[in-house]
Amino acid sequence: MYTILVFTLIVLVGAYFAGLLGSLTGLGGGVVVIPLLTLGFGVDFHYAIGAALVASIATSSGSASAYVKEGITNIRLGMFLEIATTVGAVVGATIAIFLNSDIIAIIFGLVLIFTSAMSLRKKGIEHHVEGSPLAKRLKLFGTYPTKEGMKSYNLTNVVPGFLVMLVAGATSGLLGIGSGALKVLAMDSAMKVPFKVSTTTSNFMIGVTAAASAVVYLQRGYIDPGIAFPIVIGVLMGSLSGAKLLKKIDVKVLRLIFTFAILAVAINMIYNGILGKF
């Protein structure tokens, strides 16, 4: 049995490394925090999700402000797509409240596999599109800074991208993770938004999406301060450390190792979920 102090310190350290690895690999801390709590400490899935959502709000708020200041984030696009992610998040969180933990674990494992696969795909592909009439009407185009100066871009497939964001929001509310892979897939692959803009705009949106989900968990009493507090502090400190290290180290090998580690966790989640061990 762990004492409260030992439990808090171990969770704090674990959350720090979750935030650090999540920041360096772009997969987010939630994919480590939830397995840490559920598999490592036997915490109920709903309480683990509640803690991960609160951590997502804190980390997104911290890092998103820096990207907005640098002029990379497309705020107008983010605010528009947040309509979809927020609606999806509330629906997903409501469904999760009534789902068995074993079912959530299996879904979580499958989403982790998808996220890992997405993290290995080729990035940074330049899109050159004329821009759809709807995107122009909503003024969703923008500019972002490059080494050669400010570069303008257009986007297309607004409706398909909006629908994928509904799924991303529902996944976030259901599982307590940022669903960054789905958000980037919607913007980069479907809407043809530059990858750098997609990732920063996704980060900007994560906090709002998580806040919508967290309200549902808070009303149901699934946000425990004793679990959420060390998770928030640890993940926030880890993500700040990761942001500093990101400029100094080559994270390609780290991302590859971490991706396969997440795959192993995913398989473990699915296995334990099928056996009903949650």
For residues 250 and 114, the answer to whether their CB atoms sit within 8 Å is no
Domain boundaries, the chain: 4-275
| 201: amino acid identity, one letter | T
In this prediction, residue 243 carries a pLDDT of: 66
- Tell me what pLDDT residue 64 has: 66
Q: For residue 131, how many other CB atoms are within 10 A of its CB? A: 15
Q: 26 pLDDT exceeds 80?
A: no
Q: How high does pLDDT run on average in the chain?
A: 80
Q: pLDDT over 70 for what percent of the chain?
A: 83
Span 153-195, pLDDT tens digits: 888 888 988 998 898 888 888 887 766 667 777 787 788 888 7
158-175 and 101-119 helices cross at what angle (nearest 10)? 130
Note the pLDDT of residue 209. 82
Query: In the prediction, which pLDDT does 71 show?
Result: 77
Percentage of residues in the chain having pLDDT higher than 90 = 3
Give the pLDDT score at 41.
Answer: 82
Cβ–Cβ < 8 Å for 144, 196:
yes
pLDDT at 31 over 60: yes
